[in-house]
Structure 1
Amino acid sequence: MQIDKSNFENNKVQKVSIREGTSLDYRTNEAYKSLRTNIQFCGDDIKTIAVTSCMPNEGKSSVAFNLAISLAESGKKVILLDCDLRKSVLVGRYKISKGVKGMTHYLTGMHTIDQVICSTDVENLFVVFSGPVPPNPAELLGNRYFSALMKQLPEFYDYVIIDTPPLGSVIDSAIVAQQCDGAVMVIAANQISYKFAQKTKEQLEKSNCKILGVVLNKVDIRENGYYGKYYGKYYGKYYGKYYGNYGSD
């Protein structure tokens, strides 16, 4: 379960291209820079960060992916872990070869972590994709391999960003959050009730993971003034930091 540092030095990791199709408009790019800054202001002891949502299609994978890119572009060494083992969208969205090994291969002991890490065409950014859908994702994420991984990766990377399943649907995110320094919730504007968001927040709190804040996603920019005022007050009162608009999934 130990990471072989020589593999990194000799470039023996898988290589993938993710840059194509990832360009953002000016407004969205600036929003991710603000999110990046807010994450960095949380303190240098916050290195492993889980990203979750209440339900599917709120854009959490896009937020995790673009946050990782933004941190890497600022000069930080970043690794993105795709731990949405049940329904990952990253491999399909970025047209990654089916031959690429992923988290499932590592968590089942089939491959070492060195064999599933991918270098990318974004400088400083590395990715571990999800791999094949397993029959027991929650059990895999709670096993000794994952625990060892979360202890070792901060020795090699400035930030470990983890895309997790929606916590309102399955328990996987809470299992992952137990191993993290902090968590970020992604909430889609006009899609989630306050009670559902509050219930999801309470579930996340049970993992004893610090909730860093909430990303309000999929905001209609034509109503940006309304959402900025209303949701900033409404959710900010209960969740802490308010991060704003980060585009659609």
Structure 2
Amino acid sequence: MKKVKMNIPDQGDYQLKEGLNQLKTNVAFCGEGIKVISITSSVMNEGKSSVAFSLAKTLAADGKKTLLLDADLRKSTLVAKYHIEGIEKGFSHYLTGQAGKEDIIYATEYDDFYLTVAGPLVPDPIRLLNSDLFGTFMEQIKEKFDYVIVDTPPLGLVVDAVIIGQHTDGTIVVIEQGVIKRKILQDVVKQLRTGNVQILGAVLNKVDQVSGGYYKYSYYSEGYSHGKHKKKQK
């Protein structure tokens, strides 16, 4: 298996680490059968990709063999954001028959942390996500990893997250504090439920906590189960 190099910014902030640990714990409380988890949001720039990356890395640091799958075939920023070097093929190469599964899963310098990037943008992502190749890939990787974290496009803009979510054990919705209106979030939840995608929880991101004159940014999670709002243990 080929290995990539990346530049990950320091996550030394205590509140950030604590929020990630809470999220990791909540994922564990979702049940033993919850292994493949998609991450979405309502609109762009809510931090869903950062949450997906950080959650995958946190699970891997806990000794769980974890794959981060970048399934945003429309506007992925993963490679540029983390300055990933050594990528030859991505997910779109696999879905268009230009690469095999073994060609797009990369090891990283972090133990138990694996990566599949989106690859070149494609003109018709919906067709590829509805293909047998996509379904086969999702079934096969579930058997090889303890967790698969799937980064998806914002659901308030396109329906990709619903299609992807139907091949996962559930989804987490990232919400930026003070930005997303209730009606937009309700529409996102409705789309997921209509598509029979289980909502595992919501992460309130970019939270400002004033402490001693400094602003802290943390992740919070609150769970949903089988269509009913149910607050999970923190």
What's the TM-score once normalised by structure 2's chain length?
Answer: 0.89
Q: Is 1:210 the equivalent of 2:185?
A: no
State the match for 2:123 in structure 1.
135
Q: Does structure 1 conserve the Cα–Cα contact (< 8 Å) formed by 2:4 and 2:87?
A: no
**What is the alpha-carbon distance in structure 1 between the residues aligned to residue 68 and residue 96 of structure 2?**
19
Query: Structure 1 residues 203 and 144, CA, compared in 2 at 3 Å: closer, same or farther?
Result: same
In structure 1, the residue corresponding to 2:107 is in which secondary structure?
Answer: strand
**What is the alpha-carbon distance in structure 1 between the residues aligned to residue 107 and residue 186 of structure 2?**
37
Query: Structure 1 residues 124 and 232, CA, compared in 2 at 3 Å: closer, same or farther?
Result: closer
In structure 2, the residue corresponding to 1:28 is in which secondary structure?
Answer: helix
**1:115-194 → structure 2 map (5 Å cutoff):** 115-194=103-182
- Return the letter of the residue paired with 1:162: V
State the match for 1:43 in structure 2.
31
- Return the letter of the residue paired with 2:152: T
Q: Is 1:240 the equivalent of 2:230?
A: yes
Query: Structure 1 residues 20 and 183, CA, compared in 2 at 3 Å: closer, same or farther?
Result: closer
Percent identity, aligned pairs only? 45
Q: Does structure 1 conserve the Cα–Cα contact (< 8 Å) formed by 2:22 and 2:221?
A: no
**What is the alpha-carbon distance in structure 1 between the residues aligned to residue 60 and residue 29 of structure 2?**
16
Q: How many residues align?
A: 223
Residue 222 of structure 1: CA displacement?
1.8
The counterpart of 1:195, out of the listed 180, 183, 189, is 183
Q: Does structure 2 conserve the Cα–Cα contact (< 8 Å) formed by 1:107 and 1:145?
A: yes
Unaligned runs of 5+ in 2: 212-219
- Return the letter of the residue paired with 1:53: S
What's the TM-score once normalised by structure 1's chain length?
Answer: 0.84
Residue 59 of structure 1: CA displacement?
0.3
State the match for 2:214 in structure 1.
none
Residue 204 of structure 1: CA displacement?
1.0
**Structural RMSD (CA):** 2.2
Unaligned runs of 5+ in 1: 1-12, 224-230, 245-249
State the match for 1:52 in structure 2.
40
State the match for 2:101 in structure 1.
113
State the match for 1:227 in structure 2.
none
Residue 22 of structure 1: CA displacement?
4.6
